[in-house]
Amino acid sequence: MSLGGLLSSPPAIVSAGVDVFSDALRAQGAEVHDVDWRPPGFGDPADLSAIALDPRRAAANRTAVERLLAAGSELVDVRPARDVIGLADRTLLHSGPPLSWEMASGPMRGALIGACLFEGWASTVEEAEAILAAGEVALDPCHHHRTVGPMAGVTSPSMWLWCLSDPVNGGQAFCNLNEGLGKVLRMGAFNQEVQTRLRWMRDVLGPVLADAVRSRSDDPIDVKSILAQMLQMGDEGHNRNRAGSLMALRELSPAVVAVDAPSSDIAAVLKFIGGNEHFFLNLGMPTAKLALDAARNIPGSTMLTVMSRNGTEFGIQTAGTGDRWFTGPAQTPVGLFLGNFGPDDANPDIGDSAIMETYGVGGFSMAAAPAIVRFVGGSVPDALATTERMHQLTLTENPAMAIPIMGFRGAPTGIDVLKVARTGWLPQINTGMAGRVAGTGQVGAGLVQPPQECFEKALQALAEESRTA
């Protein structure tokens, strides 16, 4: 037993606790690194110890990380939700953990109403509210269907979904098409403008994209590679998708132009994609979903597989606890507001898009997109510090997602519940803000954190699981 060379040369010391020993070590000329240790932010010490000592943990987290990092993402199809995930009539998917109409927030209700109108299940807002309140429309989280949706995430049977496939782990993931900014269904708007756009997306955009994507079946678009490139172009992949959207347009355009459709439709499709800075988000999200689903169901792993919000609650899942949700009240983002909107107009946090942070981009890769940090009046050093901090919450660095200004260090990836508890730092999420009142649409964008409560519950469950294992 050589103890890693410990007895051959004076060791560098990493010390957590009282200073007096470090001072004595420095007096001897030893290399000493003091840790800024403090009591855990939350969690019963016995639970923390139980998880820390779980003999399965190291290997389980290694497996989780390996699967996450290995996952690829290819755009293989565009199909209506009815066909591809078997979404039944009078069923709507929504973002976040499970939700009832009674507990739904304004923008979630607005989006659900809008979807009922769009599907023709109701002809007026009042009718839509009535069937939703009566429980005549089944509600289910997107995440239960290998699907993710930004903001309200409301997905109805007639909506077209991006179909992505992981050639390494064999998974599939789905996401609806991004509508653009302003008054849009995902932000809770449902007026005529929204309905007209949704119908156009159903009748023109979806079929054209489907033909275009299928025409590349022997050379599918590598979405993961676009995500990696955009991090080097000022995007962080959640709140800033400008470069990614342009690259997606570049990849799709030749195939779109070759689709057998009226040239006016082709022009409209290209104009729509080119005019939407967040077009790529709905491709980035299922890319992250593929990687995190690959890491599901690994007993003993403390890595997050889901962070998601439904506008009322924030929910997380871990690799070690399967499909169980751990929830807490969604917080209201802090940030900048459009026009005359202010903090009182903002709805609590909403959307499956925190899958990006779960994957290590978005707020975790803030350093790649310094522009984003100004949403809270921060500075470039703040952006770098945020990413540095997130490295202490995560299990690994994703070499595929390199951040130039961090010396091409990989994005901090694989959020560890135990590290969140021990550091007392919560994950940083970049997000859009929907209006509190149904029908308002987007009111701003900013930064938000999960409620500590969901991590407290997850930690407790992981500790229980590890005691009975």
Whether 108 and 308 have beta carbons less than 8 Å apart is answered as no
Sheet of strand 334-337, all strands in order from the earlier edge strand to the far edge: 334-337, 442-448, 429-434
* Pairing mode, strands 409-415 and 429-434: unpaired
> Which of 153/446 has CB closer to other proteins?
446
Chosen residue from 126, 339, 344, 468 binding other proteins by CB under 8 A: 339
Using rule CB under 8 A, residue 437 touches other proteins: no
User: Long-range CB contacts (< 8 A, 24+ apart) of 124-133?
Assistant: 125/190, 132/101, 133/101, 133/102
The binder of other proteins chosen from 45, 192, 219, 344 (CB under 8 A): 45
Which helix (H) or strand (E) segment is 446 a member of? strand 442-448
Q: Which of 133, 424, 467, 469 binds other proteins (CB under 8 A)?
A: 424
Strand partners, 174: 147, 163
**Interface with other proteins, residue 33, by CB under 8 A:** yes
Select 170 or 182, whichever has its Cβ closest to other proteins. Answer: 182
User: Which of 151, 255, 281, 418 is the binder for other proteins (CB under 8 A)?
Assistant: 418
Distance CA 185, CA 198 (A): 8
Binding other proteins (rule: CB under 8 A), the pick from 131, 249, 336, 437 is 336
Contact flag: residue 392 with other proteins (CB under 8 A): yes
Q: By the 8 A CB rule, do 47 and 460 touch?
A: yes
Query: Considering the rule CB under 8 A, would residue 53 count as an interface residue with other proteins?
Result: yes
**Rounded-to-integer distance, Cα 263 and Cα 81, Å:** 27
Options 45-53, 81-89, 152-160, 284-292: segment touching other proteins (CB under 8 A)? 45-53
Query: Which of 186, 278, 391, 457 is in the footprint of other proteins by CB under 8 A?
Result: 391
Q: How far is the CB of 425 from other proteins (least distance, A)?
A: 8
CB of 137 to other proteins, least distance (A): 30
Question: Does 407 help bind other proteins (rule: CB under 8 A)?
Answer: no
In the complex, least distance from residue 420 CB atom to other proteins, rounded to whole angstroms = 11
Which amino acid is residue 343, in one-letter code?
P
Which residue from 52, 130, 258, 267 is in contact with other proteins, where contact means CB under 8 A?
52
338 binds other proteins (CB under 8 A): yes
Nearest CA-CA partner of 462 in 46, 119, 70: 46
* Three-class secondary structure of residue 124 per DSSP: coil
Reference 83, options 26, 161, 141; nearest CA is 161
Minimum gap (Å) between residue 293 Cβ and other proteins: 26
SS (H, E, C) 331-393: CCCEEEECCCCCHHHECCCEEHHHHHHHHCCHHHHHHHCHHHHHHHCCCHHHHHHHHHHHHCC
Integer Cα distance of 279 and 360 in angstroms: 20
Asked if 134 interacts with other proteins (CB under 8 A), we say: no
**CA–CA distance, 41 with 457 (Å, rounded to integer):** 13
User: How many residues bind to other proteins according to rule CB under 8 A?
Assistant: 70
Min CB(11)–other proteins separation in Å = 4
- By beta-carbon proximity to other proteins, the closer residue of 174 and 455 is 455
In angstroms, the CA 281 to CA 432 distance is: 12
- The binder of other proteins chosen from 137, 379, 415, 427 (CB under 8 A): 379
Task: Give the torsion sign (CA, 164, 104, 319, 396).
Answer: positive
Task: Report the distance separating Cα 94 and Cα 100, nearest Å.
Answer: 10
Site residues for other proteins, 139-198, by CB under 8 A, read 181-182
Report residue 379 CA to chain centroid gap.
24
Q: Interface with other proteins includes 13 (CB under 8 A)?
A: yes
Instruction: State the nearest-atom distance from the C-beta of 411 to other proteins, in Å.
Output: 15
Is residue 455 involved in binding other proteins (CB under 8 A)?
A: no
Q: Does 258 bind other proteins (CB under 8 A)?
A: no
18 interacts with other proteins by CB under 8 A: yes
We find the least distance from the C-beta atom of residue 261 to other proteins, in angstroms, to be 26
Toward other proteins, which CB reaches closer, 30 or 88? Answer: 30
Find the DSSP H helices in 201-305: 206-214, 223-230, 242-257, 263-274, 281-293
Per CB under 8 A, the segment of 223-231, 247-255, 299-307, 366-374 that binds other proteins is 366-374
Beta bridge partners of 70: none
* Residue 268 near other proteins by CB under 8 A: no
**Interface with other proteins (CB under 8 A):** 1-18, 20-21, 24-25, 27-28, 30, 33, 35-40, 45-46, 48-49, 52-53, 55, 58, 181-182, 336-340, 367, 371-372, 374-375, 377, 379-381, 384-385, 387-389, 391-392, 418-419, 422-425, 444
